[in-house]
Amino acid sequence: MRVGYARTSTTEQRLDLQIDALKQAGCEKVFTDHGVSGSTSARLGLDEALEYARKGDTLVIWKLVQ
């Protein structure tokens, strides 16, 4: 199973584009964090996604930016 994770760093940003892309990539379940900075260690949506995923599942994110 593909499990998706989407995050925005500000409350003004929208998750729609990421969620749509994750669903198009075949993610059956998508977890989100909205308005959570990348420097914040507490990401409840990511924690939920990692807890939900089972051996053999793939965690999919929209993109990484350096």
- Residues annotated as catalytic (active site), given as ranges: 9
Q: What is d(CA 55, CA 13) in angstroms, rounded to the nearest whole number? A: 32
Segment holding 58, helix H or strand E: strand 58-61
**Six-digit token pair at 18?**
């990421």
**Six-digit token pair at 45?**
């949506």
